Chain A
């Protein structure tokens, strides 16, 4: 199997706070990797280092064969192949849903309008928003906004999708729709790196689960092992807190 993401020896500090202290991570083509761990453990920072929204201090990030940590790497070009979905949706607030999906296709990939709209509509249908293409983001529910954001990333035909707690900002009754779309994506064979607190999702959809704490990968393996039968004490106490909060 070919690996889409290869991270090795990744370190990142903000000022004097060491946030990542040596992360190694491989995501193979078609694989779904879920990252779990307590707040502040560096999950978002890891994800943001993968598409260089944060520049790593030490270590290597290779995506689709391109070394992004090479100072000469064309980051903008590499990012076209890396879809990212944010906790706060970040739909472009001045554009309709359809324009949100077409703008980067047209300005970055130089697709013409009809091709961009065709791709956009195909992806809106995938996230079950075909009827809302003329809506403004503020007119959509959080769940609809997040599905539109997923469709926006998909419209660039990425090789891999990064998700940073995509359902954490949603009302509980809207979480299912978004997770459903992500599950469908995984079934379609998309390569995915997902930071999540949804243990049920990780258990059922992930091929590999990675538990992070204090800027290190503490434990990784199939969900049956990491969530079902954790080997490390830190993993066990984290899961106990997440699965049985009361």
Chain B
């Protein structure tokens, strides 16, 4: 008996569900739940992480990310403007910078900053300013490209209108183009902030004291005293507390931006 198209489709879907259930049941039967719970999420060990994991580690992660992102944003904006400059050397320098820092693992940049720079320049940075530089230099390369794309996405009619009102190129850039570009790239900037939250875990390479631990280092360190994965799981959950709302924010900004662009001409 031949199946109709619809019957064939629902049979196919049923087979997929069956496969999924079979896989889940097999894994559940194979796993040793007692060991898993002790290894990954021991309630007593988890409780012992508090309140330090919040009052020290979570706060440090947020602070490192914030200073890194602020510096990255400013430098990224300068680089984006350099890439769009009519002066050739500015464009080349910015392009080289972006290629270099996008092409290198953030890990190497941190090692260079943690050890190389103090030796080379006989400088002693505070930990926070080293964090700001290292995270910022990496983030700036990505943010520069994002902002450049945003600036180029502002319709030329907006610039012509600004110039026709007597605004200089710089004034038009500051008052008209950059605010609009910023709106266009806000979702992407939020995504870059999420990346930076995660990259802030590399700060441990700079050699931190206990009070300077951020989430990842805090978790790894706690594993020394309670040799289960629980501290790392707790620290992972703390990351998600930061990153998941940001990712929702990014998506809702994206939706709102799209909606604004689609607003019907006549609402009046």
Chain A positions near chain B (C-beta within 8 angstroms): 51, 53, 76-77, 79-80, 82-84, 86, 88, 90-94, 103-104, 107-109, 132, 135, 138-142, 144, 149, 152-153, 156
Chain B interface mostly helix, strand, loop or mixed? Answer: helix
Contact of A80 among B155, B158, B165, B180 (CB under 8 A): B165
State A149–B260 Cα separation when bound (angstroms): 20
A152 in contact with B166 (CB, 8 Å): no
A139 in contact with B263 (CB, 8 Å): yes
How near does chain B come to A171, taking the closest CB pair, in angstroms?
A: 9
A92 in contact with B268 (CB, 8 Å): no
State A76–B169 Cα separation when bound (angstroms): 9
Residues of chain B contacted by A90 (CB below 8 angstroms): 155, 157-158, 160-161
Stretch at the interface among B8-16, B81-89, B132-140, B171-179: B171-179
A108 in contact with B171 (CB, 8 Å): yes
Determine if B30 is an interface residue (Cβ-Cβ < 8 Å): no
3 closest A-B pairs by CB: A104-B165, A80-B166, A90-B161
B263 in contact with A76 (CB, 8 Å): no
State A80–B163 Cα separation when bound (angstroms): 9
How near does chain A come to B255, taking the closest CB pair, in angstroms?
A: 16
Instruction: Report B241-268 CB contacts with A as 1/0, cut-off 8 Å.
Output: 0000000000000000000100101111
How near does chain B come to A89, taking the closest CB pair, in angstroms?
A: 8
Chain B positions near chain A (C-beta within 8 angstroms): 155, 157-158, 160-168, 171, 175-176, 179-180, 183, 260, 263, 265-268
B180 in contact with A93 (CB, 8 Å): yes
**B166: nearest residue on chain A (CB-CB)?**
A80
**With contact pairs A138-B263, A139-B263 given, residues A76 and B158 touching in the complex (Cβ less than 8 Å):** no
B260 in contact with A92 (CB, 8 Å): no
A139 in contact with B157 (CB, 8 Å): no
Residues of chain B contacted by A107 (CB below 8 angstroms): 167, 171, 175
Supplied contacts A104-B166, A108-B165, A135-B268, 7 more A-B pairs, CB within 8 Å: A77-B166, A80-B165, A90-B155, A93-B180, A138-B260, A139-B268, A153-B164
B180 in contact with A86 (CB, 8 Å): no
Contact of A79 among B157, B166, B175 (CB under 8 A): B166
A79 in contact with B183 (CB, 8 Å): no
B268 in contact with A76 (CB, 8 Å): no
How near does chain B come to A16, taking the closest CB pair, in angstroms?
A: 23
State A142–B268 Cα separation when bound (angstroms): 11
A152 in contact with B267 (CB, 8 Å): no
How near does chain A come to B10, taking the closest CB pair, in angstroms?
A: 44
State A242–B148 Cα separation when bound (angstroms): 44
**With contact pairs A88-B157, A92-B176, A141-B268 given, residues A76 and B164 touching in the complex (Cβ less than 8 Å):** no
B164 in contact with A94 (CB, 8 Å): no
Residues of chain B contacted by A93 (CB below 8 angstroms): 158, 180
Residues of chain B contacted by A156 (CB below 8 angstroms): 165-166
Residues of chain A contacted by B160 (CB below 8 angstroms): 53, 86, 90
Contact of A108 among B155, B166, B179, B263 (CB under 8 A): B166
Residues of chain A contacted by B167 (CB below 8 angstroms): 76, 104, 107-108
Contact of B165 among A94, A138, A152 (CB under 8 A): A152
State A51–B167 Cα separation when bound (angstroms): 13
State A39–B158 Cα separation when bound (angstroms): 23
How near does chain B come to A179, taking the closest CB pair, in angstroms?
A: 19
**B179: nearest residue on chain A (CB-CB)?**
A94
How near does chain A come to B266, taking the closest CB pair, in angstroms?
A: 5
State A135–B268 Cα separation when bound (angstroms): 9
State A77–B163 Cα separation when bound (angstroms): 10
State A77–B183 Cα separation when bound (angstroms): 30
Contact of B166 among A76, A132, A135, A144 (CB under 8 A): A76
**B155: nearest residue on chain A (CB-CB)?**
A90
Contact of A153 among B165, B267, B268 (CB under 8 A): B165
Residues of chain B contacted by A91 (CB below 8 angstroms): 161
State A79–B169 Cα separation when bound (angstroms): 13
State A156–B176 Cα separation when bound (angstroms): 17
B176 in contact with A53 (CB, 8 Å): no
**With contact pairs A107-B171, A141-B265, A141-B266 given, residues A94 and B166 touching in the complex (Cβ less than 8 Å):** no
12 A–B pairs (Cβ distance < 8 Å), ordered by A: A53-B160, A76-B167, A77-B166, A79-B164, A79-B165, A79-B166, A86-B161, A90-B155, A92-B158, A108-B166, A140-B265, A142-B265
